[in-house]
Amino acid sequence: MVAAEVETEQIQLIKGDITLLEVDALVFYAQPNLELGSGFGTAISIRGGPAVKKELEGLGPIETGEAIVTGAGNLKASYIVHAVGPRFLEENTEEKLRTTILNTLKCAEEAGAKSIAFPPMGSGFYGIPLDLCSRLLVELVSGYLKTSANLTQAIVCVQDSREYEPFRKELSNVTGWRRG
Amino acid sequence: MKKSTAEDSRSHKAQVVVDRLGEKLNRQIVGSLVACVHCGLCTDSCHYVLSNPGDPTYAPAYKADRIRKIFKRHYDWTGRVFPWLVGAETIMTDEELEELKDIAFGKCTNCRRCSLNCPMGVDFATVNRMTRGLLVSVGIMPEGVATVSKDQWEIGNQMGVLKEDYLETLEWMEEELQDELDDPSARIPVDKRDCAVVYSINPREAKYDPRTIGDAAKIFHAAGEDWTMPSDGWDMTNFGLFSGDDELGGAVARHLFDRVQELGGKKLVISECGHGYRSTRCEAPNWAKYDVPFEMESSVETMLRYVKEGRIKLDKTRNSEPVTFHDSCNLARSCGMTEEPRELLNLVCTDFREMYPNREENYCCTGGGGAMSMSEYTPRRLKSGKIKAEQLKATGAKVVVTSCHNCVDGLTDVIRHYELDMKVTQLVNLVAEALVIEKPARAPAVAEELPLAGRRIVVADDEPDQLLYLATVMEDYGATVYQAATGDEALELARKEKPDLVTLDLSMPGRPVTEIFELLRSDSELEGLKICLITGRPEMRELIYQRMEIPPDGYLDKPLSEDDLLRGVRKVLELSHQEG
């Protein structure tokens, strides 16, 4: 595990399965219609049970850049932030991803979360380049944690070495970074 | 003021496709895009054409022209100078991209039979795969392709099998194996370091066909192999081959290769899967830009090696039904593996009959190229299976063997649709059946209890023969069975008899089975009831799992052998852990 300290706050980079983390809020990169679908959605449906899907009924669709909070059913997390970010090389990807990450952080904080876990937002299936995703996520999360009253810890949870490396590089540029 | 042009009104997605096409061009692709002389020799090599003789839109040259015209217009000088002469055309709208999707995903399985038969060396399958990749990059793809790709990106395997379910399946298979051999040393070692063999599988095996894992374990055990299966990074399939997404292809492969290295494995053995072998062994090192430091081989080669080295002994008389072999396009045409499976077949069964044409000239099973995940094209796929059905029937065989999981599903559908009297199996199953293993001597059990003794089961199926078969097998193994011909009858019987398990056929007349399922699930007096779905239509699984809040406890595919039925029912009732 590599950890990065941002002044008094902390961002951790870990390899693992985000749906198994014991955090206040975990982020799910959602579709506009808020259906859980496959991928992490499969894990949330099966491990979390039917409560999440039920809570989402009637809440969608939402616009790209927006986020909403639900409970996390039987998962170890308390909340899930369903964040709808840009998908598949659409126009103004960077601006939209920036908005999505900031709204996600606000949403989690408003729900009372002290800790939050992010996947590599939109990379992989939705085709957001890893370098863009890692640069924005580290920049925006570290900036947000500096001024946030309640949200004090963030985790970036990646799956493999391919995803790990760009985040490690970005985190190594953050003040106070240390190898954990 | 700038004059507006047609280019300005091109949709964003169409523009991305045009731009990315330029990035994808390499010598192989360009060669295939410029060399076609429209001689038509590819036409009769395509199983879609042969099964739809009146429809020219299935001809490989026609399909290739849909992407060729864009290449000519934007990247070839002939198309820029005299577009009318070379058929150069641009692409402007999302609707045109949808039309391209219908061709790239719905009218070709990338089997490469046309590529083999082109005198100009045009590899249409490679062009088609690139086209798929361009469409996927802008989010235009069949829903099933999106579902499977996302599972493989985020869960790490293309069927979304969670780690706990995978590990539970391995434990279950280990218990079954120990029971069968009466030998507690028969194990499925997980994450064992520095082994001679790391065994990787297709997630279909963990989800729908665990028998193949058990059979492979039996063979490794009999051969005295030092082997292991990874707890993570165990999926050797690669949907990037089908979706054309090289990024996915590289990510999946890297995950698997990293895991073998972390475990210190000497050799990666890839279970019987055509596209898995081609992806992992041949394509993935390029996609992942990975210098693979260990050996890789197909389990077909592994099993054959064990026989030749005298590590396992086979009694071929145990497989006496007439058997034919279906060459997977990825193994035979793309990887040249044609003789190893035949050599092994002749060692493991008594009546092997060739199918014609065979080897690299064989026809597609119809399920390749990810076709099994694209349910919107199922009627088209089944119609295109006519030539395959005729080919299978002509062999007179009762069993068709194939070394590919896609082919297993594709052939099973063709056999069912064309009502052939055949079943599909794999070499691993035949080898396991023929294995000669001397069991340690034990005192006979005084009284052996039947495996389903004391269990109460409602069986629902609208086909009388099927209902009788399921009921008889379960009764023979000790269960008390209540038979229902409709979903409503099953519901009534369940409420009256309070059984341990209800099995539901998915295609019964009357109320939708999904509704019956929900009613059973929501009945407070039936808390703890297990429900198992039995379907002859594998493409329906996804719909059920997506729609149902609490998924069923299990699912089984027809046709069901006695062994598969018993194993499946025991699994759903979780008997293996309590009594195994």
Q: A147 pLDDT exceeds 50?
A: yes
Superfamily holding A2-178: Leucine Aminopeptidase, subunit E, domain 1 (3.40.220.10)
- The SS3 of residue B193 is coil
Residue B139 to residue B136: CA distance in whole angstroms: 5
Give mean pLDDT, residues B464-473: 85
A47/B549 touch (CB, cutoff 8 Å), yes or no? no
B139 to chain A, any CB pair closer than 8 A? The answer is yes
Instruction: Give the per-residue pLDDT at A2.
Output: 47
Q: A24 pLDDT exceeds 90?
A: yes
Chain A residues inside the 8 Å CB shell of B550? 49-50
Give mean pLDDT, residues B186-204: 97
Q: B292 pLDDT exceeds 50?
A: yes
User: What is chain A's mean pLDDT, rounded?
Assistant: 92
Instruction: Give the per-residue pLDDT at B442.
Output: 53
CA torsion angle for B460, B464, B470, B471 (degrees, to 10)? 80
CB A85 within 8 A of CB A100: yes
Which candidate, B489, B470, B495, places its Cα nearest to that of B481?
B470
Q: For residue A14, give how far its alpha carbon lies from the nearest alpha carbon of chain B (Å).
A: 15
Instruction: Give the per-residue pLDDT at B539.
Output: 59
Query: What's the order of all strands across the beta sheet hosting A177-178?
Result: A67-71, A79-83, A25-29, A115-118, A153-158, A9-15, A2-6, A177-178
CB A19 within 8 A of CB A43: yes
pTM for the model: 0.84
A179 to chain B, any CB pair closer than 8 A? The answer is no
Nearest by CB to residue B154, choosing from A91, A124, A162, is A124
The torsion angles phi and psi of A51, rounded to 5 degrees, stand at -60, -40
Give the angle subtended at the CA of B171 by the CAs of B168 and B176, to the nearest 5°. 125
Residue B551 to residue B517: CA distance in whole angstroms: 10
A49 to chain B, any CB pair closer than 8 A? The answer is yes
User: Regarding predicted confidence, which is higher, A8 or B351?
Assistant: B351
- Reported residue count of chain B is 580
Instruction: Give the per-residue pLDDT at B576.
Output: 46
B154/A40 touch (CB, cutoff 8 Å), yes or no? yes
| Range scoring the smallest mean pLDDT among A108-112, A168-172, B401-405 | A168-172
Instruction: Give the per-residue pLDDT at B546.
Output: 60
Give mean pLDDT, residues B545-554: 70
| Range scoring the smallest mean pLDDT among B4-8, B243-247, B478-482 | B4-8
Instruction: Give the per-residue pLDDT at B217.
Output: 98
Which candidate, B377, B387, B390, B394, places its Cα nearest to that of B322?
B394
Instruction: Count CB atoms within 10 A of the CB of residue B351.
Output: 15
- Both tokens assigned to A60: 């969608």
Phi-psi region of B519 (alpha: psi -120 to 50; beta: other; left: phi over 0): alpha
Give mean pLDDT, residues B354-361: 97
Paired with B270 in beta bridges are B200, B298
Q: For residue A117, give how far its alpha carbon lies from the nearest alpha carbon of chain B (Å).
A: 15
Residues 117-146 of A with CB under 8 A from B: 119, 124-125, 127
User: Regarding predicted confidence, which is higher, B172 or B576?
Assistant: B172
Give the pLDDT band (50/70/90) at residue B547. Answer: low
Instruction: Give the per-residue pLDDT at A41.
Output: 97
Give mean pLDDT, residues B474-478: 87
- The per-residue pLDDT for range B486-540, each reduced to its tens digit, is 888 888 889 888 899 999 888 887 888 888 888 888 888 888 888 888 887 665 6
- The per-residue pLDDT for range B417-433, each reduced to its tens digit, is 999 999 999 999 999 99
Share of chain A residues as helix, strand and coil, in percent rounded to the nearest 5: 40, 20, 40
Give the pLDDT band (50/70/90) at residue A1. Answer: very low
Which candidate, A156, A131, A167, places its Cα nearest to that of A14?
A156
Instruction: Give the per-residue pLDDT at A175.
Output: 60
B139/A88 touch (CB, cutoff 8 Å), yes or no? yes
Instruction: Give the per-residue pLDDT at B577.
Output: 43
Radius of gyration of chain B (CA): 25
Chain A residues inside the 8 Å CB shell of B154? 38-40, 43, 119, 124-125, 159
| Range scoring the smallest mean pLDDT among A141-145, B109-113, B307-311, B469-473 | B469-473
Q: Is the preceding peptide bond at A119 cis, omega within 30 degrees of 0? A: no
For residue A35, give the chain B residue with the closest CA. B546
Helical residues (DSSP H) of B197-277, grouped into ranges: 203-207, 211-223, 240-243, 246-263, 274-277
Phi-psi region of B528 (alpha: psi -120 to 50; beta: other; left: phi over 0): left
Residue B30 to residue B68: CA distance in whole angstroms: 9
Q: A178 pLDDT exceeds 60?
A: no
Residue A62 to residue A59: CA distance in whole angstroms: 8
Give the pLDDT band (50/70/90) at residue B440. Answer: low
- The per-residue pLDDT for range B58-96, each reduced to its tens digit, is 999 999 999 999 999 999 999 999 999 999 999 999 999
Instruction: Count CB atoms within 10 A of the CB of residue B505.
Output: 24
Nearest by CB to residue B151, choosing from A38, A87, A119, is A38
Instruction: Give the per-residue pLDDT at A7.
Output: 42
Nearest by CB to residue A88, choosing from B138, B155, B162, is B138
Nearest by CB to residue A160, choosing from B139, B162, B255, is B255
Give mean pLDDT, residues B403-428: 96
- Give B70's contacts (C-beta < 8 A, 6+ positions apart): B17, B18, B21, B89, B90, B91
Domains with residue ranges and CATH for chain B = 6-141 (1.10.1060), 172-308 (3.40.50), 316-434 (3.40.50), 456-579 (3.40.50.2300)
Q: Which amino acid is at B289?
A: K
B163 to chain A, any CB pair closer than 8 A? The answer is yes
- Give B41's contacts (C-beta < 8 A, 6+ positions apart): B117, B118, B119
CB B403 within 8 A of CB B341: yes
CB B201 within 8 A of CB B213: yes
CB pairs under 8 A between A and B: 72
Instruction: Give the per-residue pLDDT at B3.
Output: 53
User: What is chain B's mean pLDDT, rounded?
Assistant: 91
DSSP state of A1: -
Instruction: Give the per-residue pLDDT at A104.
Output: 98
Q: B202 pLDDT exceeds 90?
A: yes
CB B520 within 8 A of CB B526: yes
Report the residue of B155, B290, B553 to disrupt the A interface, i.e. the one with the largest count of A CBs within 10 Å.
B155
The interface predicted TM-score (ipTM) is 0.95
Domain ranges of chain A: 2-178
Q: Which amino acid is at B227?
A: W
CA B149 vs CA A26, A40, B130, B251, B410: distances in Å: 22, 12, 16, 12, 20
Which candidate, B368, B377, B409, places its Cα nearest to that of B241?
B368
Give mean pLDDT, residues A115-130: 97
Paired with B535 in beta bridges are B557
Which candidate, B404, B439, B440, B428, places its Cα nearest to that of B218?
B428
DSSP state of B439: P
Q: B402 pLDDT exceeds 60?
A: yes
B23 to chain A, any CB pair closer than 8 A? The answer is no
Chain B residues inside the 8 Å CB shell of A43? 154-155, 160, 162
Instruction: Count CB atoms within 10 A of the CB of residue A177.
Output: 18
Instruction: Give the per-residue pLDDT at A8.
Output: 40
B423 to chain A, any CB pair closer than 8 A? The answer is no
Query: What's the order of all strands across the beta sheet hosting B399-402?
Result: B352-353, B323-326, B399-402, B423-425
Instruction: Give the per-residue pLDDT at A145.
Output: 92
The torsion angles phi and psi of A129, rounded to 5 degrees, stand at -60, 140
- The per-residue pLDDT for range B561-570, each reduced to its tens digit, is 888 888 888 8
- The per-residue pLDDT for range A46-100, each reduced to its tens digit, is 999 999 999 999 998 999 999 999 999 999 999 999 999 999 999 999 999 999 9
Residue B482 to residue B499: CA distance in whole angstroms: 9
- Give B283's contacts (C-beta < 8 A, 6+ positions apart): B238, B241, B249
CB B71 within 8 A of CB B33: yes
Quick one: B386 exposed, middle or buried, by C-beta within 10 A (0-12, 13-18, 19+)?
Answer: middle
Nearest by CB to residue B150, choosing from A37, A50, A90, is A37
Sequential DSSP letters for B78-112 = HHHH-HHHHT------HHHHHHHHHHHHHS-----
> Which of B164-183 are b and which e, b meaning 16 or more Cβ less than 10 Å from the residue's Cβ?
eebbbbbebbbbbbbeebee
| Range scoring the smallest mean pLDDT among B9-18, B48-57, B521-530 | B521-530
- Both tokens assigned to A94: 């960077």
Instruction: Give the per-residue pLDDT at B544.
Output: 61
Q: A127 pLDDT exceeds 80?
A: yes
